Amino acid sequence: MSCQSCGGETVAVSVPAELREYLPGNAPAVAVCRACLAMEPADDVPGESPDLTVLDEAVPGNSDAAVPLLLLVGLLDSLALHRAEITALLERVEQAGTDPLLAVDRLADSYGDDAHVDLGRRRHQLEQLL
């Protein structure tokens, strides 16, 4: 599957049932673009969980933190629309033992202008949410 935003290669990630409420629609998985980090719901559930560190070293190896972090980044295109979901996902990432703001900083450094949103600017706005 290719990214609808940039045409890049995507990684399918299974989303646990307790996190599906944070997805647009009721898809059991998401496709995350390796080039721009854009996220889109996917119906094809991968057989086994991929190593999400292939996206970037800033993505935790721990899926309890990685999946909510990727969902969070995927929703950053509209803070106003997804404010409640983003706040809940920030808390989940933090509860899983990862600093979400530091992870977003590192992703901003890695992806720069290639990211689907300005992660540096969004990081500042996330800090204000907390």
Single-letter amino acid code for the residue at 54: V
Structural domain including 32 reads 10-129
Question: The whole model's pTM is what?
Answer: 0.91
Tell me what pLDDT residue 45 has.
77
The answer to whether 48 and 14 are in contact (CB under 8 A) is no
Residue 3 falls inside a structural domain: no
Give the count of domains, the chain. 1
Residues 6+ apart with CB under 8 A from 11: 31, 32, 34, 50, 52, 54, 55
**pLDDT at position 37 over 80:** yes
Residue 65 falls inside a structural domain: yes
Residue 48 falls inside a structural domain: yes
The answer to whether 77 and 120 are in contact (CB under 8 A) is no
pLDDT, average across residues 97-121: 94
**pLDDT at position 109 over 80:** yes
